Amino acid sequence: MGKVHLQDIDSKDKKTEFSLVRVKGTWKCKLAKKVNKDTADCVSDAKIFESNTEKGTTWTVVSPIVFTYKVTESRGLLDPSNDTLLFGHITDPQQLEDFKKSIKPVKRFVVVDQEVYKIYGPKLTDYLEVNNVLYKILALPTTEENKSMEMALKILEEVNNFSLDRRTEPIIAIGGGVCLDIVGLASSLYRRRTPYIRVPTTLLSYIDASVGAKTGVNFANCKNKLGAYIPPTAAFLDLSFIQTVPRRHISNGLAEMLKMALMKHLGLFELLEEHGRMLLDTKFQVDNSVYAHSCLQAASRATNIAITTMLEELAPNLWEDDLNRLVDFGHLISPALEMKVLPSLLHGEAVNIDMSYMVYVSKESGLLTEEEKQKIINCMVGLELPVWHESCTMELIQKSLQDRLKHSGGLVRMPLPVGLGQAEIFNDTSCEILCRAYEKWCDELSIPSDKQK
């Protein structure tokens, strides 16, 4: 959906502009030029433009919708004395007080990844019991292969049986990106939009899937083909969940972090170069070693920068109207690759393979020096991320770029690093460069198939 500029509407054809003013409980159209927003009692931000031809009337409605959501870090989210999970999404202090004073029990529907439930189920149950919550926990195998409409409908059936007040009882999703994406979509469908809360339990979802507005499920063999841009009312982030995430999944999350570093933050890149291995070893937790302090600092600095840089890119472009998006780096070829080899590559791994190839494209385009290219590849290897894959063929690359061309207004819009920690978007990378980069990429990084993961 493109942005509508009021002046455009007014000037191109003869239209009458109306403001909407509330008069005794009803809304009335009033000629916009006669309404003074500063003095009138209640004027909506919405507008209605009316034009009349011999065929009839056209009403053009401009109705701005504002999304407000919180991304809150909170250690000890499942500590019974921490009420963030139950009330942290409420922004109005009066409403918060009313809720806390109310004798009506708090009611929550919680969807949790089955594997997460195995580890944190007792703590979660205890948390809800101690806080007298009327609850239903639905533990589901929310894997990439199950990321489907069927799973979303299964959740919706249970939500419907539980019967929620959609204004005051947000659905809570606890798990990795898959769980958060499915529950987000289900919530956006239930009664047209039921608020939901994201609690990420993997590194990737902590810094990426929790921060933005996208929900989705796979469909017709395509990643996230069905989905909505409906942000959660809040995302509550607790790094301690990450301690039980398998090592490979830490690397997986580091790939999305590296994406932000390469696109726009040299400091984050240097931090990953220097401390990436330690973050991987400690799983972003404070250990008891002499490095404990620097460990904590590096972990919170890295996650903080990753989230801030991500929010900077997302907040002004929540519905992705602007197709020039740096956050798409690593996401041009990876969706097709990820679906092609499912389940052997994780999301971040596929993203990293895409980024690794693009680094070669940058180098061949004269945007990166050989030394910078090598630094980036070394950093990727240090984070234990794959930098090449035999299924990432030139054919797959070309097909992905053609698909992109179709869905992106006739331009490929390829974000490429131009030096370390900065990037630009290019539309004119030639086939020759793409092929030359591919050859070099394979020459330098391909590994015999018997040594691959």
Ligand X SMILES: NC(=O)c1ccc[n+]([C@@H]2O[C@H](COP(=O)([O-])OP(=O)(O)OC[C@H]3O[C@@H](n4cnc5c(N)ncnc54)[C@H](O)[C@@H]3O)[C@@H](O)[C@H]2O)c1
Return the closest-CA partner of residue 263 out of 380, 420, 423: 423
Collect all residues with Cβ–Cβ distance below 8 Å to 435 and sequence separation of at least 6: 394
Compute the least distance from the CB of residue 192 to ligand X, in Å: 20
- Residue 23 pairs in a beta bridge with 26
Compute the least distance from the CB of residue 274 to ligand X, in Å: 24
Compute the least distance from the CB of residue 375 to ligand X, in Å: 25
Residues binding ligand X (CB under 6 A): 113, 115-116, 119, 143-144, 147, 175-179, 181, 201-202, 204-205, 208-209, 212, 214, 224, 241, 244-245, 249, 252, 346-347
Phi first, then psi: give them for residue 222, nearest 5 degrees. -120, 140
Catalytic amino acids?
A: 214
Compute the least distance from the CB of residue 293 to ligand X, in Å: 24
Compute the least distance from the CB of residue 218 to ligand X, in Å: 8
DSSP secondary structure, 1-67, as one string: -PPPPHHHHHHHTT-EEEEEEEETTEEEEEEGGG--TTTSS-EEEEEEEEEEETTEEEEEEE-----
Compute the least distance from the CB of residue 245 to ligand X, in Å: 5
Compute the least distance from the CB of residue 241 to ligand X, in Å: 4
Q: Counting Cβ atoms within 10 Å, is residue 343 exposed (0-12), middle (13-18) or buried (19+)?
A: exposed
Return the closest-CA partner of residue 144 out of 389, 386, 346: 346
- Measuring CA to CA, how many Å separate 43 from each of 3, 23, 37, 176, 261? 22, 10, 6, 42, 44
- Measuring CA to CA, how many Å separate 386 from each of 65, 181, 308, 333, 415? 41, 25, 26, 15, 20
Q: Which two tokens stand for residue 109?
A: 């529907």
- Whichever of 143 and 168 has its CB closer to ligand X, that residue is 143
- Whichever of 223 and 373 has its CB closer to ligand X, that residue is 223
- Whichever of 245 and 392 has its CB closer to ligand X, that residue is 245
Compute the least distance from the CB of residue 185 to ligand X, in Å: 10
Return the closest-CA partner of residue 198 out of 180, 224, 213: 180
- Whichever of 80 and 246 has its CB closer to ligand X, that residue is 246
CB 57 within 8 A of CB 16: no
Closest-by-Cβ residue to ligand X is: 177
Query: If DSSP states are collapsed to H, E and C, what string results for 69-133?
Result: CEEEECCCCCCCCCCHHHHCCCCCHHHHHHHHHCCCCCEEEEEEEHHHHHHHHHHHHHHHHHCCC
Q: What per-residue string of b and e applies to 28-42 under the rule 16 or more CB within 10 Å gives b? A: ebeebeebeeeeeee
Q: Give the rounded distance of the alpha carbon of 272 from its chain centre.
A: 21
